[in-house]
Structure 1
């Protein structure tokens, strides 16, 4: 007869001989952002579809060439939505197309904030070009996330040890460590707590405007863990 292996049952609670203590560890760090994103909207308007499309293509190419000319500080450049929309007007008993409106939405991500200020100003000088942002952020692989998690674990251990010492006991072993996640206050998309929003439209006659001085917004990184420990019997 084959003997079944003995299964170890885990008690959800401690016992008088092996009491448990459950705590939560938290950490909150403020760090400088690593990247900044801006939204660029290029517009065009024409009395016919071909004119609007040609103007939009020309302005879109000018924006892309300008952004790409900055090289390595630009980590990402993506084209989003594109649209050509007719503007209708009533004429007699029917409807006619009065004009066509074209738009292209572009997102750029930069890691050099001095370059960001210069590029933002030059983009705002372009015809019918709107700039939104910047949205400051950390990279998902930023060491700040790991540091926050490490501090949260250390706080959990310290808190559990203080509870045990208050009972005249010591921590014995770790039973469980549950990661609740380290959240960065990513300011992107709009609505995040780390967002600073500005919108710029190209001026009519102003050329060669000085670069904007953009002050990076500090990012808050959170981490939380739940931890359960066993401890020696308390001296009550």
Structure 2
């Protein structure tokens, strides 16, 4: 009957503890842009109607890109009164409307064109893009496997240096394998703002050439092995 080595080190079964690490540079899988549509009117109804019209235009424009737009979500909506400078009698000077939309794309060629077309709209701001990997990206599994392989190789090298060999794996602890690059990098000050008049017939701006930002994937594991008695 084969003797099972104890889970702790002994002179007959010394224990070796190592860390395996992996770091991969991979292309992003998705890009996210933030869109802020605004409107201003002297009365509440006008501001709300302008905001609704501009928001619908942005959504319709994004939907024309089909499956290239993986996700389209509307976030916070606000309609805020602006009081007169003194504001003592609560007289309203104007109303400010704002709605936030998030678009996630998987086609980076369409990304540059869509970003430019939205930025060309009046009273519209674009922030981003923010590049990322999907949570189930194969890159994460690849990094984890590489970290385990490195841990085994490192432990073998320690054992070989002592004239010994590994006999059993005692513990393998996952320290996390995740995309540590920020999912939402801070946008440049002011973002990309719309410039052309809303619905104007001016010549469309050329599509932006956006170069994808490569993503860094990390994985780390702690591994403990027992080995044969060293040749000291």
Question: Counterpart of 1:203?
Answer: 195
Question: Counterpart of 1:233?
Answer: 229
Mapped partners of 2:132, 2:87: distance in 1: 54
**Alpha-carbon displacement from aligned partner over 1:60-82 (angstroms, at most 9, x marks no partner):** 00000000110011110001110
Coordinate RMSD, CA, aligned:
2.0
Q: Show structure 1 runs of 5+ residues with no match.
A: 1-7
Alignment: residue pair count: 225
Matches within 5 A, 1:13-28: 13-28=8-23
1:95 is displaced (CA, Å) by: 2.7
1:190 is displaced (CA, Å) by: 3.8
Mapped partners of 1:100, 1:92: distance in 2: 14
Q: Is the 8 A contact 1:42 1:105 kept in 2?
A: yes
SS at match of 1:79: strand
1:204 is displaced (CA, Å) by: 3.6
Question: Counterpart of 1:219?
Answer: 215
Confirm or deny that 1:110 pairs with 2:102.
no
1:26 is displaced (CA, Å) by: 0.2
TM-score by length of 2: 0.91
Question: Counterpart of 2:93?
Answer: 98
SS at match of 2:67: coil
1:199 is displaced (CA, Å) by: 1.6
1:88 is displaced (CA, Å) by: 1.1
Relative to structure 1, the CA distance from residue 233 to residue 38 in structure 2 (aligned partners, 3 Å threshold; closer, same or farther) is same
Q: Is the 8 A contact 1:87 1:99 kept in 2?
A: yes
Confirm or deny that 1:166 pairs with 2:161.
yes
**Alignment equivalent of 2:143, drawn from 125, 128, 148:** 148
Mapped partners of 1:130, 1:93: distance in 2: 33
TM-score by length of 1: 0.90
Mapped partners of 2:69, 2:101: distance in 1: 13
Mapped partners of 2:13, 2:189: distance in 1: 55
Matches within 5 A, 1:38-53: 38-53=33-48
Mapped partners of 2:222, 2:87: distance in 1: 71
Q: Is the 8 A contact 2:37 2:98 kept in 1?
A: yes
Q: Show structure 2 runs of 5+ residues with no match.
A: none
SS at match of 2:223: strand
